[in-house]
Amino acid sequence: MPSSSPINSPAKKEAFKFAINGKLTVLTLLVLPLLLALGFWQLERATQKREMLVEFKRQQTLPPQSVNQLSVAEFNNLADYQRISAEGVFDNEHLWLIDNKTRAGQVGYELVQPFKIIDGPQVLVNRGWVKAGRLRSELPTVAPVEGRVTLFATVRLPLNNRMLSSELSLPLNWPMVVLQLDAGAAGQATGQGFANKQLYIDAESQGALVTGWKTVNIQPEKHTGYAVQWFTMAFAITLWFCFASTNLATLIRQIRNTHEQ
C-alpha cells in the first residue's frame, strides 16, 4: 500500500539573514549622519526663528528709547529689535541701494543712508524699499531729507552673508548699488566711522519709503518642514539599507502568505 503524504505541508520558515554589502554600508554611513545633521540643524534654526519673533514682539511693545548722547559702544549694545527715537541729520551725499529686494512681487532696492545722531554716533539708516527702473542703468531718484529731523526706528544688526561681497567697486558713484552693506564697507567708502548696528526706519518717520520690514526671511514652520524632509530621507535610506542587506523582504512575504492561507 503506497504511503500517503500531506498535500499542503507547511513551508519551512526561512531564518533571518544579514549580509554586509561593503559599498552600500559605506554609502549609508556617509549619507545617513549628514541627513540627520541637516534635519537637527533645521530644527535648531526653527527654534532660533521662534525666539527672534518672540523677542521682536516683546521689544515692539516697549516705548522707544532716545539714543541721543549714546556712545558708539552703548549704541552697539542696544538689543536687536529695540525701538528707538533719534534726532539728527541725514547725509544726502552718500546713498546705497541694496540690490535684489522685492515687495509685492516687484523688484527694487532698499535705500540705506548715513544719519548723524545729535551728540551721538553716526549710523546707517535703512529708509525702505524703492522700485527699480525698467533697465539696470535706470537707478531710482529719491528725494533728500533736509535739515534736522527726529526719526523712529528699530535697531537691528544687518545680515552678513559671506557669499555676498561687500567690497567697493571703483570708481565710487553715488548712489552706489551693493548686495549688502555693513559699517566697515560704509566707512571704507566715505572715510567715516559708523556704528555696527543699523536703524530700520518706521513708516511714520520723515524720509521713510516703503517699509514692511520682515523680522525673519524664513518662517519657523518652513524650517520645520525642511527638517521633516531631511528626516524622511534618512528614514528612507535606512529602510533601503535594511532591505538591501537582509532577507526582510522574503520574510515579510512569507508572513503575509501565512496569514492569507
| Residues whose CB falls within 8 Å of the CB of residue 255, separated by 6 or more in sequence, listed in order | none
Q: Do residues 66 and 183 both lie within one domain? A: yes
Q: Are residues 180 and 74 in the same domain?
A: yes
Question: Lowest-confidence range among 72-86, 171-185, 219-233?
Answer: 171-185
Whether residues 67 and 174 fall in one domain = yes
Share of the chain residues as helix, strand and coil, in percent rounded to the nearest 5: 35, 25, 45
Residues 173 and 89 in one domain: yes
Residues of 187-216 as b/e, b for ≥16 C-beta within 10 angstroms?
Answer: eebbeeebbbbbbbbbeebebbbbbebebe
Range of 52-56, 126-130, 155-159, 177-181 with top mean pLDDT: 126-130
- For residue 157, give the 3-state DSSP assignment: coil
**Co-location of 38 and 115 in the same domain:** no
What the block records as the C-alpha cell of 56 is 521682536
Could you tell me what percent of the chain has a pLDDT over 70? Answer: 82
Count of all residues that appear for the chain in the document: 261
Closest CA to 124 of 213, 224, 193: 193
The model's pLDDT over 134-193, given as tens digits with 9 standing for 90+, comes to 888 889 989 999 999 999 999 998 876 654 555 566 567 889 999 989 898 899 889 999
Q: Residue 216 carries which side chain, given as an amino acid letter?
A: V
For residues 198-206, average pLDDT: 93
**Any domain includes 208:** no
Which pLDDT score is estimated for 252? 62
Instruction: Give the pLDDT of residue 194.
Output: 94
Among the listed residues 9, 242, 232, 28, the one whose alpha carbon sits nearest the alpha carbon of residue 252: 242
Mean pLDDT of 220-239: 93
Contacts for 38 with CB less than 8 Å, ≥ 6 apart: 230
Q: Residues 191, 231: one domain?
A: no
92 and 188, same domain (yes or no): yes
Q: Would 214 be classed as within a structural domain?
A: no
Instruction: Cell numbers for 179, please give them.
Output: 548686495
Would 5 be classed as within a structural domain?
Answer: no
pLDDT for the residue 122: 94
pLDDT-based confidence at 10, cuts 50/70/90?
Answer: low
Band (90; pLDDT cuts 50, 70, 90) = very high
Residue 6 lies in a domain: no
At 134 the pLDDT is: 84
Q: Could you tell me the pLDDT band of residue 13, with boundaries at 50, 70 and 90?
A: low
pTM greater than the 0.85 cutoff:
no
The answer on 194 and 73 residing in a single domain is yes
Structural element, H or E, at residue 199 = strand 198-201
DSSP 135: S
Average pLDDT over residues 181-207: 91
Q: What percent of the chain has pLDDT over 90?
A: 49
Same domain, 140 and 181: yes
What string of DSSP letters covers 50-109? HHHHHHHHHHHTSPPEE-TT--HHHHHTSPTT-EEEEEEEE-SS--EEEEEEEETTEEEE
Of the pLDDT bands very low, low, confident and very high (cuts 50, 70, 90), residue 97 is very high
Range of the domain at 158: 62-201
On whether both 97 and 167 belong to a single domain, the answer is yes
197 lies in the same domain as 68: yes
d(CA 46, CA 14): 47
Q: Is 38 found in the same domain as 71?
A: no
Is residue 186 a part of any domain in this protein? yes
pLDDT, averaged across the chain: 85
H/E stretch holding 123 reads strand 122-131
Under the banding of pLDDT at 50, 70 and 90, the label for residue 214 is confident
* Per-residue model confidence as pLDDT tens digits over 231-251: 999 999 988 887 777 766 665
Q: 36 versus 25: which is more confidently predicted? A: 36
Lowest mean pLDDT among 88-92, 108-112, 158-162: 158-162
**pLDDT score at 168:** 60
Residue that terminates a domain, selected from 173, 201, 229: 201
Which pLDDT belongs to residue 173?
A: 83
- CA 87 – CA 92 distance, rounded (Å): 16
Strand partners of residue 103: 106
Q: Which residue has the higher pLDDT, 38 or 242?
A: 38
**How many domains is the chain partitioned into structurally?**
2
Q: Is residue 188 part of a domain?
A: yes
Q: How far apart are the first and last CA of the chain?
A: 31
